[in-house]
Amino acid sequence: MSAIVAATAGAAVIAATPASGAASTLGAAAQQSGRYFGTAVAANKLGDSTYVGILNREFDMVTAENEMKMDATEPNQGQFSYGNADRIVNQARNQGKRVRGHALAWHSQQPGWMQNMSGTALRNAMLNHVTQVASYYRGKIYAWDVVNEAFADGSSGGRRDSNLQRTGNDWIEAAFRAARSADPGAKLCYNDYNTDNWSHAKTQGVYRMVQDFKSRGVPIDCVGFQAHFNSGNPVPSNYHTTLGNFAALGVDVQITELDIEGSGSSQAQQYQGVTQACLSVARCTGITVWGIRDSDSWRASGTPLLFDGSGNKKAAYNSVLGVLNNGTGTTTPTTTTTTSGNPGGGGCTATYSEGEKWSDRFNGNVTVSGTDNWVVTVTVSSPQRVIATWNTSATWGSANVMTARPNGSGNTFGFTVQHGGNWNWPTVSCQVG
Ligand code: G2I
């Protein structure tokens, strides 16, 4: 959205707040900013009408929780089995949903025959598996987790030891190349856990690998952050930094397996923080939760999901939906202009543009034209607060209304808004002083 308003007599104010949708489902709310909201799905629950009802209503992306893993799709070497995976893919696609593929190559959940292999035989078997499965689903998968969990926990920042790793350090890039050949239209992701905190060695190790892959032309399009959180592994306050730094390497980032153990408002706040972190990064293309109801979770006792065991929406659901609905302003419009005429002739125009964004605050910039003697009114909406200004002399009419005047620094000034979860743009209007 952008607007140009002629500088004529009389006040003309264009609301700088973008149309804020009030979507009532997670998928529809995420779509307002071009993102998706997905869930892991288990084939054996597709007969549960409560489960399928929530799935069909709320989510627009689906990941098979176990059914596309190596042990499920190639139980015997060279014999592929897609029955359960197909049930999930077909159910999703019939409902107009997209599918994330999980996972082509992983040290875990290997079929028995593969667990006993090594060397060239294992490398070739892995590459054949990647080629066969990605070819079978060619054109039906939005993004593949090509390689899952290949980095070590702890302080090393290096690779995890596994039979695949022992076939040579280039096994990951070989898998990505095979996947690209088999399904050139799918986004190809590296996916891992404990990579959310920017200061962790594992995060840095994955970052260096992606940087290396991009510099050498290895076909990687995205990085998945599993995001399994609990009190021992809380949502990091620097999550937006992590997502933003990876995105700056030229890849999409996605939250791929989100769940947060806990309950009530504390759990809701953490879900809010993760959602905000994704919305604050333009290339964070979507969020997937790892299951629908608490009772569907791989760690059900931690009640880590958005619906309770009966399928009721939890506080965490409402907080995620609220952030998705308020977050649309962060990526859609780029400039908005407001103008007020000057009864003596002439007028001025104030143009707002977005600045940097963080999980708790964002910057805005205002450029004034038409006069050097301006008075710009900036109005923020609750619970937003302006917490800093530059290149202007500012006074406050009320906590939400700031009056900005020149301070000799020119006709562009800026300010920082602590947003409290409200990402709507401030309104700006200009008068000749
Ligand atoms: O462990 C949580 C996730 C971590 N990232 C990769 C994901 O693929 C992983 O998902 C979980 C599934 O949610 C579990 O459902 O992966 C586990 C296996 O690594 C899955 O657990 C398995 C059990 O180990 C099997 O005994 C069981 O037969 O689920 C199978 C199907 O219910």
Separation of CA 298 and ligand 1 centre (Å) = 7
Atom 13 in ligand 1: residue holding the nearest Cα: 298
Q: For the CA atoms of 74, 224, 190, 117, what is the dihedral angle to 10 degrees?
A: -40
Where does residue 49 rank: exposed (0-12), middle (13-18), buried (19+ CB within 10 A)?
exposed
Which among 211, 139, 209, 207 has a CA at the least distance from the CA of 170?
A: 209
Band (19; pLDDT cuts 50, 70, 90): very low
Is 261 in the active site? no
Give the distance (Å) from ligand 1 centre to CA of residue 112.
16
* Sequence-distant (≥ 6) Cβ neighbours of residue 312 within 8 angstroms: none
Burial of 232 (0-12, 13-18, 19+ CB in 10 A): exposed
Strand-by-strand arrangement of the 335-341 sheet:
11-12, 335-341, 347-357, 361-369, 412-418, 385-390
Is 361 in contact with 27 (CB distance < 8 Å)?
Answer: no
Q: What is the pLDDT of residues 213-249, one digit of tens each?
A: 999 999 999 999 999 999 999 999 999 999 999 999 9
Q: Which of 218, 217, 291, 220 is nearest to 261 (CA)?
A: 291
- What's the number of CA atoms in the CB half-sphere (13 Å) around residue 192? 24
Residue nearest to atom 5 of ligand 1 (CA): 226
Tell me: pLDDT of 338 over 80: no
Instruction: Give 296-329 pLDDT, tens digit per residue.
Output: 999 999 999 999 999 999 999 999 999 999 864 4
Distance 228 CA to ligand 1 centre (A): 13
What is the rounded end-to-end Cα distance, in angstroms, of the chain? 28
Q: At what angle do helices 239-247 and 201-216 cross, to 10 degrees?
A: 10
Q: Read off the pLDDT of residues 152-179 as tens digits, 9 standing for 90 and up.
A: 999 999 999 999 999 999 999 999 999 9
Q: What is the chain's mean pLDDT, rounded?
A: 90
> Within the chain, how many helices (H) and strands (E) appear?
11, 19
Q: Rounded to whole angstroms, what are the CA distances from 132 to 180, 187, 204?
A: 12, 17, 32
Catalytic residue at 173?
Answer: no
Ordered alpha helix ranges (H), 296-387? 315-326
Q: Are 222 and 142 in contact (CB under 8 A)?
A: no
Find the angle CA(65)-CA(265)-CA(196) to the nearest 5 degrees.
50
pLDDT tens figures, 364-413: 999 999 999 999 999 988 778 999 999 999 999 888 899 999 999 999 99
Query: Would the CB of 257 count as within 6 Å of ligand 1?
Result: yes
Sheet of 427-432, strand order: 393-398, 401-405, 374-379, 427-432
**CA separation for the pair 350, 429 (Å, rounded):** 6
Residue with tokens 């008068």: 431
pLDDT(12) > 80: no
Residue whose CA lies nearest to ligand 1 atom number 15: 298
Does pLDDT of 421 surpass 80? no
What is the predicted pLDDT for the residue at 336? 55
Q: Is the pLDDT of residue 1 over 80?
A: no
Q: How far apart are CA 423 and CA 425, in angstroms?
A: 6
- Residue in 68, 225, 229, 298 to alter for ligand 1 test, most ligand atoms within 8 A of Cβ: 298
Q: Is 108 in the pocket of ligand 1 (CB under 6 A)?
A: yes
Q: What is the pLDDT at residue 43?
A: 98
Ligand 1 center from residue 10 Cα (angstroms): 64
